[in-house]
């Protein structure tokens, strides 16, 4: 058993709430005032299946990356939220504050891709400049293996080599023009839309998808809380859509 406030403090020391974006709603989503926790479910998203899994595993706290609530609430009528409250499950989220933290989601994405010793640009972007050229096809093979993907979406796929690479977990297409201005060769992110892809000039963009670029966030939570006196479960999750 562990104190809930100790768990939350551990997360907020790593990713302070003061660093989240103005539009974000990191922090408590459901706070029932329960002081102790025995089992925690860590997840990318809080969905009906996430809540059901927490109930099945007798977890009393869900820690997620994506918040449950973004907009002001007038009525609580969502069945899975009601179910969470009925089962005395509290929910806490660490979103954009975790994205930009040192060792946070974007940096962890880069490390998953085998890239370390990163610099930061435009707050959310982690990038690396190499002295020598790297093989692009080897990078794509590594991505497919690491994220268990049969294929990845690529803009300007004709590239053979690269000397600079940038990362933004989740949705990073808004930074395309800024990254091209500083000469980034390859940008790895998710949620790339048609017209955003058309705006890319010479930079190669690899779209892993939102889910795959952030699904490992559970590993960050697990590492943060590994020494706490509580049992931690990683939620069983999958993308919102399937290829058929």
Q: Where are the domains of the chain?
A: 2-94+215-234, 105-213
CA dist 105 and 55 (Å) reads 27
The closest of 50, 43, 40 to 3, measured between CA atoms, is 40
Tens digits of per-residue pLDDT, 44-76?
Answer: 999 999 999 999 999 999 999 999 998 888 899
Mean of per-residue pLDDT scores for the chain: 95
- Supply the pLDDT for residue 72: 84
Report which DSSP code applies to 175.
G
Q: How many CB atoms lie within 10 A of CB 62?
A: 25
Instruction: Give me the sign of the Cα torsion angle 108, 113, 114, 119.
Output: negative
CA dist 169 and 193 (Å) reads 15
- Supply the pLDDT for residue 85: 97
Each residue's pLDDT expressed in tens, for the chain with a length of 244 residues: 999 999 999 999 999 999 999 999 999 999 999 999 999 999 999 999 999 999 999 999 999 999 999 888 889 999 999 999 999 999 999 999 999 999 999 999 999 999 999 999 999 899 999 999 999 999 999 999 999 999 999 999 999 999 999 999 999 999 999 999 999 999 999 999 999 988 888 999 999 999 999 999 999 999 999 999 999 999 999 988 887 8
Same fold, 2-94+215-234 and 105-213: yes
- Supply the pLDDT for residue 241: 81
- Sheet with strand 39-43: strands edge to edge: 27-30, 90-93, 61-64, 39-43, 231-234
CA dist 148 and 46 (Å) reads 23
Tens digits of per-residue pLDDT, 90-102?
Answer: 999 999 999 999 9
- DSSP E strand stretches across 144-198: 153-155, 161-171, 186-190
Question: For the whole model, what pTM was predicted?
Answer: 0.93
Q: Would you identify the CATH topology of the domain 2-94+215-234?
A: 3.40.1390
- Are the beta carbons of 142 and 113 closer than 8 angstroms? yes
- Supply the pLDDT for residue 108: 94
Alpha helices in 73-167 (DSSP H): 79-86, 96-99, 105-112, 136-146
What would the CATH number be for the domain defined by 105-213? 3.40.1390.30
CA dist 70 and 90 (Å) reads 17
CA dist 22 and 13 (Å) reads 19
- Supply the pLDDT for residue 122: 92
């Amino acid at each position: 058993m562990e104190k809930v406030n100790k768990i939350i403090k551990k997360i907020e020391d790593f990713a302070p709430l003061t660093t989240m974006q103005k539009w974000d709603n990191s922090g408590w989503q459901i706070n029932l005032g329960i002081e102790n926790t025995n089992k925690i479910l860590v997840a990318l998203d809080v969905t009906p299946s996430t809540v059901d899994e927490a109930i099945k595993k007798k977890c009393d706290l869900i820690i997620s990356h994506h918040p449950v609530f973004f907009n002001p609430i007038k009525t609580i009528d969502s069945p899975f939220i009601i179910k969470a409250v009925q089962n005395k499950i509290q929910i806490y989220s660490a979103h954009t504050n975790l994205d930009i933290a040192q060792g946070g989601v974007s940096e962890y994405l880069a490390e998953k891709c085998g890239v370390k010793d990163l610099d930061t640009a435009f707050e959310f972007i982690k990038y690396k400049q190499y002295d020598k050229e790297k093989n692009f096809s080897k990078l794509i093979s590594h991505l497919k293996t690491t994220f268990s993907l049969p294929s990845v979406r690529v803009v300007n796929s004709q590239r053979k080599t690269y000397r600079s690479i940038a990362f933004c977990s989740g949705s990073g297409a808004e930074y395309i023009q800024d990254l091209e201005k500083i000469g980034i060769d390859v940008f790895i992110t998710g949620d790339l839309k048609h017209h955003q892809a058309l705006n890319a000039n010479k930079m190669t963009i690899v779209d892993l998808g939102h889910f795959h670029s952030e699904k490992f966030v559970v590993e960050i939570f697990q590492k943060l809380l590994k020494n706490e006196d509580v049992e931690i479960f990683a939620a069983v999750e999958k993308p919102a859509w399937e290829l058929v």
